[in-house]
């Protein structure tokens, strides 16, 4: 995968929460999913990476589990509203998916 880091350099006005999530979505869109195509693939690479970001941002690993419970009770959750997650993977599923992605491909700011 060839990535042009200059394309992904964040502008100062992009440092709002929405700007960071937008930039992260753009970066994720340029990453090739390392998994083989299968009907068993339940979560997209985007959902896994945004799920990891959500847990880090909220500084709470159980945030995603609570959001799944909230969604089953109310039909909507904060992971959906704030991070754009339609399906919420478990922490183990996130680890399994994201482990195959090079950390350098997630760089939001060029150095």
| Tally of domains within the chain | 1
The verdict on residue 39 lying in a domain is no
Contacts 24+ apart (CB under 8 A), 39-45: 42/87, 42/89, 42/93, 43/87, 43/89, 43/93, 43/97, 45/97, 45/101
The verdict on residue 55 lying in a domain is yes
The verdict on residue 27 lying in a domain is yes
| pLDDT single digits (tens) 13-64 | 567 899 889 989 999 999 999 888 887 789 999 999 999 999 999 998 899 9
- pLDDT value at 2 more than 50: no
The verdict on residue 86 lying in a domain is yes
Task: State the pLDDT at residue 4.
Answer: 47
Query: Quick check: 20 and 14 in contact, CB under 8 A?
Result: yes
Domain of 88 in residue numbering reads as 10-33+44-106
Torsion of CA 6, 24, 12, 103, to 10 degrees: -60
């Amino acid at each position: 995968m060839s990535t042009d880091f200059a394309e992904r350099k964040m502008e100062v006005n992009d440092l709002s929460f929405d700007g960071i999530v937008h930039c992260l979505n753009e970066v994720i869109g340029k990453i090739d999913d390392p998994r083989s195509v299968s009907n068993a693939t339940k979560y997209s690479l985007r959902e896994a990476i945004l799920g990891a970001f959500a847990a880090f941002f909220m500084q709470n690993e159980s945030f995603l589990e609570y959001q799944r419970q909230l969604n089953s009770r109310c039909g909507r959750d904060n992971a959906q509203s704030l991070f754009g997650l339609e399906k919420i993977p478990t922490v183990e599923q996130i680890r399994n998916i994201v482990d195959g992605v090079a950390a350098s491909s997630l760089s939001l700011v060029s150095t």
